[in-house]
């Protein structure tokens, strides 16, 4: 048979009665003890009980102490009869003093408990405010906020309800779902949009409601200024309306902050698109004009009387500029695909040498006049998208050709290891400014050395990063002591020896 564990009040009551019995037995062993001395000793037990127990426990102990004083120490001893009328006055004085002292002690305990509750409330509100400030995700901010409220205030049933064009948006935060009828929410919101009044006794503004069979669910308005924008619904007997109203105030501020963050993100996106359009227009107007002018001059020269070698030279120049235009348009298309997340991955088994050869052939005119030393592995194959990898590598090769002196060679190391394809391109240029390393792969960014180049839109490295990211790869840059800059790419994929394919 299971026995119920005594509560704290029962334990205190039994202990106080035992102390009363113990003091009584001890005092009775003393010769000629005064009833006043006994009353003071018993009063100490009553006061001690009042400091640690509820008022009703202290009153019970007070009555027990009075009866003990009467039975054992007031004549006639051994009966509850009081012979001397003065003893009646003493008994009632003892009882009144004990009850008043117990009442004062209970009131002090209530104030202490209320102060602790208010302190805990302020601490939890502070923690909730900190959670709000740390929340930067705008898409699911309200759901996260509801969970924060439930966690900080230990609520198993709580929800944030926001009206919308297509009904109510209810964001559950507790471990149990709280269900509220739509008509109740409509009524509560209409009530909250009435005259705004503050109830100093409940420490809350008007408009709150209690619903349910036993009024266990509280509905508190969410106000931004004086406007009610939603409702906080919670089932918590431990929190009064004042505390819930304070929580609702923090929640309303958090909702307003989330709206501001969303508007800021939209404004930032619009600004980025405007800056992108302006930069793209300025860049293309320059980089289109140069090859078009060169092609026009070559075509006009071809119309005149020229020798065979001169005609071939002019035709080669026109073809080179057409290739440049083709690459520029391809860069624009690649960037559009990256922005639209429309990069398709078509994997094939290739070697590192195959990727380097395809990249070099793609920009053969840009590499003209430069010595390129290639150290490429042809013994292992990797399953990747060869077009994507070669296009990404071609931008690195073109970048190296743009900033390397003609008399210095460009070094390409390519290998296939257990991670996939790894390629490093080292130029002999001026190197990278440490202050620009964090911006190299930003769209349309051009460093100080790049701004003096005659050609370049600043899209190449950004496209390289976007293409590799679509394939799960990465690109990074570093300075090489005694040389220039080194750009490295890694494209993950399964590997195998070439002999297996054969």
pLDDT at 272: 65
Whether the model pTM is above 0.75: no
CA–CA distance, 125 with 243 (Å, rounded to integer): 9
pLDDT digits (tens, 9 = 90+) for 437-462: 766 777 666 655 555 554 555 677 87
Q: How confident is the model at residue 94 (pLDDT cuts 50, 70, 90)?
A: confident
CB 423 within 8 A of CB 254: no
pLDDT digits (tens, 9 = 90+) for 217-276: 888 888 887 788 888 888 876 677 777 888 888 888 888 888 888 888 888 777 766 665
The three-class DSSP label of residue 5 is coil
**CA contacts within 13 A on the Cβ side of 186:** 4
CA–CA distance, 481 with 259 (Å, rounded to integer): 50
| Beta carbons within 8 Å of 483's beta carbon, 6+ residues apart | 426, 427, 428, 431
pLDDT at 3: 41
For the chain, give percent helix, strand, coil, nearest 5: 55, 15, 30
Which residue matches tokens 């639209």? 340
* Six token digits for residue 367: 């590499």
Please state the length of the chain. Answer: 502
Q: Name the packing angle between helices 141-152 and 85-134 (round to 10°).
A: 160
Secondary structure of 87-115 in the HEC alphabet? HHHHHHHHHHHHHHHHHHHHHHHHHHHHH
pLDDT digits (tens, 9 = 90+) for 404-437: 887 788 999 999 998 899 999 998 888 887 777 7
Residue intervals in the chain for CATH 3.30.450.40: 152-265
What is the residue-wise DSSP string for 23-43?
Answer: HHHHHHTSTT--HHHHHHHHH
Residue 406 burial (CB < 10 Å; 0-12/13-18/19+)? exposed
CA–CA distance, 177 with 180 (Å, rounded to integer): 10
Average pLDDT, the chain: 79
Return the CATH architecture of domain 342-501. 2-Layer Sandwich (3.30)
pLDDT at 16: 86
pLDDT at 213: 66
pLDDT at 420: 93
Strand order in the sheet with 348-351: 348-351, 380-384, 495-497
**How far is CA 377 from its chain centroid?**
45
Which residue matches tokens 């394919």? 501
Compute CA distances 108 → 51, 61, 201, 226, 499, whole Å: 9, 19, 20, 38, 89
Mean local confidence (pLDDT), 300-321? 79
pLDDT digits (tens, 9 = 90+) for 337-384: 666 666 788 899 999 999 999 999 888 877 877 889 999 988 899 999
Parallel, antiparallel or unpaired: strands 348-351 and 474-479: unpaired
pLDDT at 4: 41
CB 149 within 8 A of CB 155: yes
The three-class DSSP label of residue 490 is strand
CATH homologous superfamily of 152-265 = GAF domain (3.30.450.40)
pLDDT at 286: 57
Mean local confidence (pLDDT), 56-70? 82
Parallel, antiparallel or unpaired: strands 217-224 and 227-234: antiparallel
Residue intervals in the chain for CATH 3.30.565.10: 342-501
């Amino acid at each position: 048979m299971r026995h119920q564990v005594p509560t704290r009040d029962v334990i205190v009551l039994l202990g106080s009665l035992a102390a009363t019995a113990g003091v009584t037995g001890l005092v009775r062993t003393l010769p000629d003890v005064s009833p006043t001395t006994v009353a003071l000793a018993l009063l100490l037990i009553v006061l001690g009980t009042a400091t640690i127990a509820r008022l009703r426990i202290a009153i019970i102990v007070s009555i027990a102490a009075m009866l003990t004083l009467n039975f054992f120490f007031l004549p006639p001893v051994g009966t509850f009869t009081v012979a001397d009328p003065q003893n009646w006055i003493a008994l009632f004085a003892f009882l009144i003093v004990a009850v008043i002292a117990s009442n004062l002690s209970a009131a002090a305990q209530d104030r202490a408990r209320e102060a602790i509750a208010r302190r805990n409330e302020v601490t939890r509100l502070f923690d909730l405010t900190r959670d709000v400030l740390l929340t930067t995700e705008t898409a699911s901010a309200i759901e996260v906020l509801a969970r924060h409220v439930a966690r900080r205030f230990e609520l198993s049933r709580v929800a944030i309800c926001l009206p919308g064009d297509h009904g109510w948006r209810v964001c559950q935060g507790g471990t149990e779902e709280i269900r509220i009828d739509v008509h109740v929410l409509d009524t509560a919101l209409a009530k909250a949009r009435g005259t705004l009044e503050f109830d100093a006794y409940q420490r809350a503004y008007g408009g709150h409601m209690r619903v349910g069979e036993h009024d266990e669910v509280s509905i508190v308005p969410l106000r931004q200024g004086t406007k009610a924008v939603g409702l906080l619904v919670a089932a918590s007997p431990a929190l009064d309306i004042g505390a819930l109203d304070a929580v609702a105030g923090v929640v309303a501020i958090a909702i307003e902050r989330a709206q501001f963050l969303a508007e800021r993100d939209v404004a930032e996106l619009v600004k980025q698109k405007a800056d992108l359009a302006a930069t793209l227009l300025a860049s293309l107007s320059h980089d289109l004009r140069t090859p078009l002018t060169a092609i026009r001059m070559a075509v006009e020269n071809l119309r005149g009387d020229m020798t065979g070698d001169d005609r071939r030279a002019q035709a080669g120049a026109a073809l080179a500029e057409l290739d440049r235009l083709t690459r520029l348009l391809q860069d624009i298309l690649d960037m559009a695909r990256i922005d639209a997340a429309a990069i398709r991955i078509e994997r094939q088994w290739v070697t590192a040498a195959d990727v380097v050869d395809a990249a070099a052939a793609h920009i053969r005119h840009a590499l003209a006049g430069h010595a390129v030393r290639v150290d490429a592995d042809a013994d292992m194959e990797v399953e990747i998208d060869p077009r994507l990898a070669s296009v990404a590598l071609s931008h690195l090769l073109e970048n190296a050709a743009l900033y390397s002196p003609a008399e210095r060679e460009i070094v390409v190391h390519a290998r296939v290891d257990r991670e996939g394809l790894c390629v490093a391109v080292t130029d002999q240029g001026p190197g990278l400014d440490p202050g620009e390393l964090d911006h190299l792969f930003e769209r349309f960014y051009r460093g100080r050395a790049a701004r003096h180049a005659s050609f370049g839109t600043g899209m190449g490295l950004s496209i390289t990063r976007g293409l590799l990211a679509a394939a799960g790869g990465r690109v990074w840059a570093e300075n090489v002591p005694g040389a220039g800059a080194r750009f490295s790419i890694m494209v993950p994929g399964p590997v195998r020896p070439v002999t297996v394919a054969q």
